[in-house]
Copies of this chain bind each other. A is one copy, B any other.
Amino acid sequence: MPLPYRWLTSMYARYNGSGLLIDCGEGTQIAIRKKGWSMKPIDVLCITHFHADHISGLVGLLLSMGNAERKEPLLIIGPKGLRRVVESLCVVAPELPFPLEFHEITQPEETFSLHGYTLTAFKLQHRVTCYGYSLSIARAGKFSVENATAYEIPQRFWGRLQKGETVCEDGKVYTPDMVLGPERKGLKVTYCTDTRPIPSIVEHARGSDLFICEGMYGEKDKEEDARKKKHMTFYEAATLGKEADVAEQWLTHYSPSVTYADQYLEEVQKIFDRCTTVKDGKTKTLLFEDEETT
C-alpha cells in the first residue's frame, strides 16, 4: 500500500547508459523524480507480477515518457498475459509516441542478453505467477599488452579483441584468449519480491553483490500471515541471504504494519549480519573489484 513517505517497491538500475526498472507501482514515477533521476534512460522494464502495487503506475510512467517526447522503444518483460494487462491499463493512454515491445516469460527460468548485461528471470512462489530477476555484468580478463605485442597483433585490433571479438585479417586469426587473462569477477544484483522463501532464490542470489529481497513482516507473530499471504518475514528473508552468502542484502516491501523497520534490525542481523533494512531512495554504486569511484 503506498503510504506518505513510503513509495511502493521498485528498483532502478543504471549501467552503461541503459536503464532497467523493475516494477512500477502507483507513484514510482514520482519517486524517480524526487530522487532527481530521469526516466529517459529506461529501456527495459521488468514486471514481477500483476498485483496492482507492482504495476499500477505503469500508465503514468509511459505517459510521462511520452510527454518527454520519447521515440525509442521500451521492452517490457513480465509473466504470461503481460501484453493483455498492459494494453488493458493503457485504455487511458491510447496514443503513446513510442513503441512497446513485450516479452512474456513462459519458462520457470529465462535468460536475456540485453544492453551489455545478462538478465535472468526465475519463478518465485506467490499467490499469482511471479518472477525474481538477477542482473549480471560479466567482466573479461585483463588485457595483456605484453601478449598482444608478442603475437604481433596490430594495435588497431586491440579494442575489438578486448570486447571479445575474434578478428581475421590477411589470413591471420586473432582470438581474445590470445590477449585476455582469465575472466574476472563481474557484478550481480538479485531482486526478489513477492514470494515465500524457496531454495531457488538461494541458488539465484548466490554470488550477488547486492540481494534486494522482500521482507513483509518484522513482527515475530506474523509468520503465519506471511505463509498465508505468500510473503516472508524479515527472518526468513535474512536466512535466504545467509544461505546464498551474498555480499550485501537489503530488505524492502514492508507491510503497512511495519512502521519502523529498523526496530527489527538487531534480530535480523543475528541471522545474517550483512542484511539490513532500507528506506525509500536507497542507492548503491557497485564497482568492479579493482575499480575506483571517479
Convert A6-50 into 0s and 1s, putting 1 for each residue whose CB lies closer than 8 angstroms to a CB of B.
000000000000000000011101100110000000000000001
- Interfacial residues of chain A within 30-85, with CB under 8 A of chain B in the complex: 30, 33-34, 50-53, 55-57, 59-60, 63-64, 67, 84-85
A34 partner, pick from B4, B60, B63, beta carbons under 8 A? B4
| Chain A residues within 8 Å of B, Cβ to Cβ | 1-4, 25-27, 29-30, 33-34, 50-53, 55-57, 59-60, 63-64, 67, 84-85, 88-89, 91-93
Contact B67 A1 (CB under 8 A): yes
Contact A52 B3 (CB under 8 A): no
Contact B52 A63 (CB under 8 A): yes
- Are A88 and B91 CB-contacts (below 8 A) given A4-B34, A27-B27, A60-B52? yes
Q: How many copies does the complex hold?
A: 2
A56 partner, pick from B1, B53, B60, B88, beta carbons under 8 A? B60
Supply 14 further A-B pairs (C-beta < 8 A) apart from A27-B30, A52-B60, A56-B92: A1-B67, A3-B30, A3-B33, A4-B33, A4-B34, A26-B27, A26-B57, A50-B91, A50-B92, A51-B92, A52-B63, A52-B93, A55-B92, A88-B89
Contact B2 A60 (CB under 8 A): yes
Residues of B near A3 (CB, < 8 A) are: 30, 33
Residue of B nearest to A85 (CB): B91
Q: Give min CB distance, A67 to chain B, whole Å.
A: 6
How far, in angstroms, from A67 to B53 measured CA to CA in the complex?
12
Q: Give min CB distance, A85 to chain B, whole Å.
A: 5
With a 10 A CB-CB cut-off, give which of A2, A30, A88 has the most chain B CB atoms: A30
A30 partner, pick from B4, B91, B93, beta carbons under 8 A? B4
Which 4 pairs across A and B sit closest by C-beta, in order of nearness? A4-B34, A88-B91, A26-B60, A52-B92
